[in-house]
Amino acid sequence: MAKQLEPEDPRTWDMSEDAIMTPSGGLLWHWRAFRRRKQWRDFLASIELWLSEWQPQSNHLLLMGPSAGWCLPDSFLIRFKTIIAVDIDPLAHFFFRRLHGSALNQSGTKLVWRRTNLFRDLESLLREYPDHAVLFPNVLGQHIFHEPDETRLRQDIKTLGERLKNRNWASFHDRLSGDWNPALPMPASFEAIGTLTAADLAEKLGLSGEWLDHMTDAVLPPDTERMFAPWPIIPDWIHWVEFGSVAGIERGKRDER
Ligand SMILES: C[S@@+](CC[C@H](N)C(=O)[O-])C[C@H]1O[C@@H](n2cnc3c(N)ncnc32)[C@H](O)[C@@H]1O
Protein backbone atom coordinates (compact mmCIF):
# COMPACT_ATOMS: atom_id res chain seq x y z
CA MET A 1 0.00 0.00 0.00
CA ALA A 2 1.29 3.47 -0.83
CA LYS A 3 2.15 5.72 2.10
CA GLN A 4 -0.32 8.51 2.76
CA LEU A 5 0.55 12.18 2.30
CA GLU A 6 -1.04 14.74 4.60
CA PRO A 7 -3.18 17.33 2.79
CA GLU A 8 -1.84 20.86 3.03
CA ASP A 9 -3.05 22.42 6.28
CA PRO A 10 -6.09 24.57 5.31
CA ARG A 11 -5.40 26.87 8.25
CA THR A 12 -2.37 28.21 6.36
CA TRP A 13 -4.68 29.58 3.63
CA ASP A 14 -7.03 32.52 3.65
CA MET A 15 -10.34 30.63 3.45
CA SER A 16 -12.61 33.68 3.69
CA GLU A 17 -15.40 33.98 1.14
CA ASP A 18 -13.36 36.58 -0.76
CA ALA A 19 -10.14 34.56 -1.01
CA ILE A 20 -8.79 34.48 -4.55
CA MET A 21 -6.22 31.77 -3.77
CA THR A 22 -7.42 28.58 -2.10
CA PRO A 23 -5.89 25.09 -2.13
CA SER A 24 -8.67 23.89 -4.45
CA GLY A 25 -9.11 26.74 -6.91
CA GLY A 26 -8.58 30.43 -7.44
CA LEU A 27 -5.84 32.25 -9.26
CA LEU A 28 -3.25 29.47 -9.20
CA TRP A 29 -5.76 26.97 -10.59
CA HIS A 30 -6.83 29.33 -13.42
CA TRP A 31 -3.22 30.02 -14.37
CA ARG A 32 -2.30 26.34 -14.31
CA ALA A 33 -5.38 25.30 -16.31
CA PHE A 34 -4.77 28.05 -18.87
CA ARG A 35 -1.14 26.97 -19.30
CA ARG A 36 -1.60 23.18 -19.31
CA ARG A 37 -4.81 22.43 -21.16
CA LYS A 38 -2.82 21.14 -24.14
CA GLN A 39 -0.96 18.63 -21.96
CA TRP A 40 -4.32 17.56 -20.49
CA ARG A 41 -5.69 16.70 -23.95
CA ASP A 42 -6.23 12.96 -23.30
CA PHE A 43 -7.80 13.58 -19.90
CA LEU A 44 -10.11 16.25 -21.33
CA ALA A 45 -11.11 13.87 -24.13
CA SER A 46 -12.01 11.24 -21.49
CA ILE A 47 -14.19 13.80 -19.69
CA GLU A 48 -15.90 14.85 -22.92
CA LEU A 49 -16.70 11.26 -23.92
CA TRP A 50 -17.91 10.33 -20.45
CA LEU A 51 -20.14 13.42 -20.22
CA SER A 52 -21.58 12.70 -23.67
CA GLU A 53 -22.71 9.32 -22.31
CA TRP A 54 -24.28 10.82 -19.19
CA GLN A 55 -27.92 11.48 -20.18
CA PRO A 56 -29.65 12.56 -16.97
CA GLN A 57 -33.09 13.28 -18.51
CA SER A 58 -33.19 16.87 -17.37
CA ASN A 59 -32.71 20.06 -19.30
CA HIS A 60 -31.44 21.82 -16.21
CA LEU A 61 -28.16 21.41 -14.41
CA LEU A 62 -26.80 22.24 -10.96
CA LEU A 63 -23.08 22.46 -11.61
CA MET A 64 -21.19 22.20 -8.34
CA GLY A 65 -17.70 23.70 -8.14
CA PRO A 66 -17.08 24.12 -11.89
CA SER A 67 -14.44 26.83 -11.53
CA ALA A 68 -14.19 28.37 -15.01
CA GLY A 69 -15.05 25.06 -16.64
CA TRP A 70 -11.52 24.64 -17.98
CA CYS A 71 -12.18 20.90 -18.27
CA LEU A 72 -15.82 21.11 -19.39
CA PRO A 73 -16.63 21.04 -23.11
CA ASP A 74 -19.12 23.46 -24.67
CA SER A 75 -20.79 20.43 -26.30
CA PHE A 76 -21.89 19.29 -22.83
CA LEU A 77 -22.90 22.67 -21.40
CA ILE A 78 -25.08 23.68 -24.35
CA ARG A 79 -27.31 20.63 -23.86
CA PHE A 80 -28.99 22.44 -20.94
CA LYS A 81 -31.61 25.20 -20.89
CA THR A 82 -30.36 26.47 -17.55
CA ILE A 83 -27.16 25.96 -15.61
CA ILE A 84 -26.86 26.98 -11.96
CA ALA A 85 -23.13 27.17 -11.24
CA VAL A 86 -22.08 27.02 -7.58
CA ASP A 87 -18.51 27.91 -6.60
CA ILE A 88 -16.77 29.70 -3.76
CA ASP A 89 -14.13 31.18 -6.08
CA PRO A 90 -14.81 34.90 -6.72
CA LEU A 91 -12.94 34.72 -10.07
CA ALA A 92 -14.66 31.64 -11.48
CA HIS A 93 -17.71 33.37 -12.93
CA PHE A 94 -15.60 35.87 -14.92
CA PHE A 95 -13.40 33.14 -16.45
CA PHE A 96 -16.37 30.80 -17.04
CA ARG A 97 -18.08 33.52 -19.11
CA ARG A 98 -14.87 34.18 -21.03
CA LEU A 99 -14.49 30.50 -21.88
CA HIS A 100 -18.09 29.42 -22.49
CA GLY A 101 -20.13 32.63 -22.79
CA SER A 102 -20.41 32.73 -26.54
CA ALA A 103 -21.41 29.03 -26.88
CA LEU A 104 -24.01 29.47 -24.12
CA ASN A 105 -25.39 32.61 -25.78
CA GLN A 106 -25.73 30.79 -29.09
CA SER A 107 -27.54 27.83 -27.53
CA GLY A 108 -29.72 30.11 -25.39
CA THR A 109 -28.50 28.42 -22.21
CA LYS A 110 -29.19 30.59 -19.17
CA LEU A 111 -26.31 30.71 -16.70
CA VAL A 112 -26.98 31.65 -13.08
CA TRP A 113 -24.00 32.03 -10.79
CA ARG A 114 -24.11 31.29 -7.04
CA ARG A 115 -21.00 32.03 -4.99
CA THR A 116 -21.52 29.76 -2.03
CA ASN A 117 -20.26 26.63 -0.32
CA LEU A 118 -21.96 23.60 -1.83
CA PHE A 119 -21.67 21.46 1.30
CA ARG A 120 -23.12 24.16 3.52
CA ASP A 121 -26.00 25.05 1.18
CA LEU A 122 -26.74 21.73 -0.52
CA GLU A 123 -30.22 21.26 0.97
CA SER A 124 -31.39 24.77 0.11
CA LEU A 125 -29.94 24.51 -3.43
CA LEU A 126 -31.70 21.18 -3.99
CA ARG A 127 -34.96 22.65 -2.71
CA GLU A 128 -34.59 25.72 -4.90
CA TYR A 129 -33.78 23.66 -8.03
CA PRO A 130 -35.87 20.49 -7.66
CA ASP A 131 -35.73 19.38 -11.31
CA HIS A 132 -32.05 19.89 -11.96
CA ALA A 133 -29.59 17.09 -12.58
CA VAL A 134 -26.46 17.57 -10.48
CA LEU A 135 -22.84 17.35 -11.61
CA PHE A 136 -19.77 17.57 -9.36
CA PRO A 137 -16.95 18.19 -11.86
CA ASN A 138 -13.76 17.50 -9.96
CA VAL A 139 -14.75 19.25 -6.76
CA LEU A 140 -15.44 16.56 -4.13
CA GLY A 141 -11.78 15.52 -3.90
CA GLN A 142 -10.98 19.10 -2.90
CA HIS A 143 -13.02 18.87 0.29
CA ILE A 144 -9.91 17.61 2.17
CA PHE A 145 -8.45 21.10 1.73
CA HIS A 146 -11.51 22.86 3.13
CA GLU A 147 -12.65 20.59 5.98
CA PRO A 148 -9.90 19.98 8.55
CA ASP A 149 -12.03 17.68 10.72
CA GLU A 150 -11.65 14.17 9.22
CA THR A 151 -14.83 12.83 10.83
CA ARG A 152 -16.92 15.67 9.40
CA LEU A 153 -15.15 15.34 6.05
CA ARG A 154 -15.91 11.64 5.76
CA GLN A 155 -19.47 12.25 6.93
CA ASP A 156 -20.03 14.98 4.29
CA ILE A 157 -18.82 12.62 1.55
CA LYS A 158 -20.59 9.52 2.82
CA THR A 159 -24.00 11.20 3.23
CA LEU A 160 -23.94 12.93 -0.16
CA GLY A 161 -25.67 10.05 -2.00
CA GLU A 162 -28.46 10.01 0.59
CA ARG A 163 -28.91 13.79 0.33
CA LEU A 164 -29.14 13.43 -3.46
CA LYS A 165 -31.68 10.62 -3.28
CA ASN A 166 -34.08 10.61 -6.27
CA ARG A 167 -31.82 13.01 -8.18
CA ASN A 168 -29.90 12.15 -11.33
CA TRP A 169 -26.36 13.03 -10.42
CA ALA A 170 -22.79 12.37 -11.45
CA SER A 171 -19.32 13.15 -10.25
CA PHE A 172 -15.73 12.87 -11.28
CA HIS A 173 -13.37 13.40 -8.38
CA ASP A 174 -9.77 12.95 -7.31
CA ARG A 175 -9.07 9.67 -5.52
CA LEU A 176 -5.28 9.59 -5.19
CA SER A 177 -2.58 12.03 -6.22
CA GLY A 178 1.19 11.89 -6.07
CA ASP A 179 4.61 12.13 -7.70
CA TRP A 180 4.98 10.89 -11.25
CA ASN A 181 8.05 10.27 -13.37
CA PRO A 182 7.35 12.25 -16.56
CA ALA A 183 9.60 9.91 -18.56
CA LEU A 184 7.05 7.11 -18.10
CA PRO A 185 4.07 6.69 -20.47
CA MET A 186 0.70 7.69 -19.01
CA PRO A 187 -1.16 4.62 -17.75
CA ALA A 188 -4.45 3.71 -19.45
CA SER A 189 -7.89 4.48 -18.07
CA PHE A 190 -9.87 1.49 -16.83
CA GLU A 191 -13.36 0.56 -15.67
CA ALA A 192 -14.54 -1.20 -12.53
CA ILE A 193 -17.75 -2.05 -10.73
CA GLY A 194 -17.91 -1.60 -6.97
CA THR A 195 -16.05 0.53 -4.47
CA LEU A 196 -12.27 0.43 -4.53
CA THR A 197 -10.77 1.63 -1.24
CA ALA A 198 -7.68 3.83 -1.45
CA ALA A 199 -5.54 0.82 -0.52
CA ASP A 200 -7.22 -1.39 -3.20
CA LEU A 201 -6.77 1.30 -5.82
CA ALA A 202 -3.12 1.90 -4.92
CA GLU A 203 -2.48 -1.84 -5.11
CA LYS A 204 -4.30 -2.24 -8.41
CA LEU A 205 -2.28 0.64 -9.87
CA GLY A 206 0.98 -0.69 -8.43
CA LEU A 207 1.63 2.64 -6.72
CA SER A 208 4.61 3.05 -4.44
CA GLY A 209 5.93 6.06 -2.54
CA GLU A 210 3.69 8.64 -0.93
CA TRP A 211 0.19 9.32 -2.29
CA LEU A 212 -2.43 11.74 -1.09
CA ASP A 213 -5.77 10.05 -0.37
CA HIS A 214 -8.55 12.50 -1.29
CA MET A 215 -10.98 10.49 0.87
CA THR A 216 -13.61 10.16 -1.84
CA ASP A 217 -13.94 6.36 -1.90
CA ALA A 218 -17.51 6.65 -0.52
CA VAL A 219 -18.83 9.25 -2.99
CA LEU A 220 -20.49 6.68 -5.26
CA PRO A 221 -22.89 3.98 -4.04
CA PRO A 222 -21.02 0.67 -3.67
CA ASP A 223 -22.43 -1.07 -6.77
CA THR A 224 -21.84 1.84 -9.19
CA GLU A 225 -20.00 1.25 -12.46
CA ARG A 226 -17.04 3.59 -12.58
CA MET A 227 -14.11 4.66 -14.69
CA PHE A 228 -10.65 5.67 -13.50
CA ALA A 229 -8.47 8.01 -15.55
CA PRO A 230 -5.02 9.52 -14.93
CA TRP A 231 -4.66 13.30 -15.04
CA PRO A 232 -1.13 14.72 -15.36
CA ILE A 233 -1.98 17.98 -13.62
CA ILE A 234 1.68 19.07 -13.75
CA PRO A 235 4.54 17.15 -15.40
CA ASP A 236 5.69 15.29 -12.28
CA TRP A 237 2.40 14.96 -10.38
CA ILE A 238 -0.69 12.99 -11.36
CA HIS A 239 -4.17 12.53 -10.01
CA TRP A 240 -6.20 9.35 -10.41
CA VAL A 241 -9.78 10.49 -11.01
CA GLU A 242 -12.89 8.35 -10.53
CA PHE A 243 -16.01 8.92 -12.68
CA GLY A 244 -19.51 7.65 -11.93
CA SER A 245 -23.18 8.50 -12.25
CA VAL A 246 -26.30 7.65 -10.30
CA ALA A 247 -29.83 7.52 -11.70
CA GLY A 248 -32.58 9.02 -9.56
CA ILE A 249 -35.08 6.30 -8.76
CA GLU A 250 -38.45 7.97 -8.88
CA ARG A 251 -38.11 11.02 -11.06
CA GLY A 252 -38.27 9.47 -14.54
CA LYS A 253 -40.24 11.58 -16.98
CA ARG A 254 -40.79 14.40 -14.46
CA ASP A 255 -37.29 15.68 -15.30
CA GLU A 256 -37.95 16.01 -19.01
CA ARG A 257 -38.91 19.68 -18.93
C1 LIG B 1 -10.31 21.71 -9.39
S2 LIG B 1 -11.47 23.00 -9.51
C3 LIG B 1 -12.69 22.30 -10.65
C4 LIG B 1 -12.21 22.33 -12.03
C5 LIG B 1 -13.33 22.39 -13.05
N6 LIG B 1 -13.90 21.06 -13.29
C7 LIG B 1 -12.86 22.98 -14.37
O8 LIG B 1 -13.22 22.41 -15.41
O9 LIG B 1 -12.18 24.02 -14.36
C10 LIG B 1 -12.38 22.87 -8.00
C11 LIG B 1 -13.36 24.02 -7.82
O12 LIG B 1 -14.21 23.69 -6.74
C13 LIG B 1 -14.45 24.86 -5.98
N14 LIG B 1 -14.82 24.41 -4.63
C15 LIG B 1 -14.09 23.65 -3.77
N16 LIG B 1 -14.79 23.38 -2.66
C17 LIG B 1 -16.01 23.98 -2.82
C18 LIG B 1 -17.16 24.07 -2.00
N19 LIG B 1 -17.22 23.48 -0.82
N20 LIG B 1 -18.23 24.75 -2.48
C21 LIG B 1 -18.20 25.36 -3.70
N22 LIG B 1 -17.11 25.31 -4.52
C23 LIG B 1 -16.03 24.63 -4.08
C24 LIG B 1 -13.13 25.62 -6.05
O25 LIG B 1 -13.32 26.99 -5.79
C26 LIG B 1 -12.70 25.34 -7.48
O27 LIG B 1 -13.17 26.34 -8.34
Cβ neighbour number for residue 229 with a 10 Å cutoff: 21
The C-alpha R_g of the chain, in whole angstroms, comes to: 17
* In contact, 233 and 32? CB cutoff 8 Å: yes
Give the angle 99-59-221 at the CA atoms, nearest 5°: 95
Q: Which residue among 67, 136, 152, 239 is best mutated to probe the pocket of ligand 1, counting the most ligand atoms within 8 A of its Cβ? A: 67
Q: How far is the CA of 248 from the centre of ligand 1 (A)?
A: 24
pLDDT of residue 135: 98
pLDDT at residue 254 tops 50? no
Q: How far is the CA of 66 from the centre of ligand 1 (A)?
A: 5
CA dist 252 and 17 (Å) reads 37
Kindly report, residue by residue over 205-239, the tens digit of the pLDDT: 998 889 999 999 999 999 999 999 999 999 999 99
Kindly report, residue by residue over 73-108, the tens digit of the pLDDT: 999 999 999 999 999 999 999 999 999 999 999 999
- Please give the model's pTM, rounded to 2 decimal places: 0.92
Cβ neighbour number for residue 105 with a 10 Å cutoff: 12
Q: How far is the CA of 201 from the centre of ligand 1 (A)?
A: 24
Choosing among 1.10.3470, 3.40.50, 1.20.1300, 1.10.30, the CATH entry for 3-246 is 3.40.50
pLDDT of residue 173: 98
Kindly report, residue by residue over 130-156, the tens digit of the pLDDT: 999 999 999 999 999 888 899 999 999
pLDDT at residue 248 tops 90? no
Q: For ligand 1, atom 18, which residue shows the shortest CA distance?
A: 117
Q: Which residue among 14, 21, 24 is best mutated to probe the pocket of ligand 1, counting the most ligand atoms within 8 A of its Cβ? A: 24
